Amino acid sequence: MNIYKYLKNKIFLKENLISFLIVIFIFVSDRASKINIIKLQLNTNGRLFVNDYLNLDLVWNTGVGFGLLSHNANIYYHVISLVVFLVIAFVIYLIFKADFIEKFLYAMILGGALGNFYDRLIYFAVPDFIDFHINEFHWFTFNIADIFITIGIVSIIIKESILNKR
């Protein structure tokens, strides 16, 4: 079989198309939330109090997930961006190799990773804005993309460690 037919048959599998739609949905949801929070921040010049446990407060993150490794040094930023790109390429590979359920979990990770990678390319930082806190203890500020990445990773870990024990 030639490479064209092989790729066509692999790419246009129903599960791969559904995975692609999940990636698009997450990417668009993430972009819409970030655009709206940036507009809100410009209009309110501060944080938006939602309730006793949640604020919306725009923070520009130059590091990795949840603000880890945030440095102003250019070399760190570019190395982190390169690593993110390589992870995205690997996750795309995993989607094509994964079983039915894992395709969707990897698609969640990919959608979130693409959302944050897009911000790195456009803004040179990722806008995080969900500030969850209890009294004075604040969790890392995060965004919609981070939620999907985390859900995907935790679900894969659970699937591999608990459900695959037979």
Residues labelled as active-site residues: 128, 146
d(CA 62, CA 18): 32
Contact 21, 88 (CB under 8 A): no
Please enumerate in sequence order all residues whose Cβ is within 8 A of that of 83, keeping only pairs 6 or more positions apart, or say none.
Answer: none
Structure tokens at 32: 């819409």
Which of 89, 120, 119 has the alpha carbon at shortest distance from 106? 89
Structure tokens at 77: 């930023």
The CB density around residue 42, as the number of other CB atoms within 10 Å, is 9
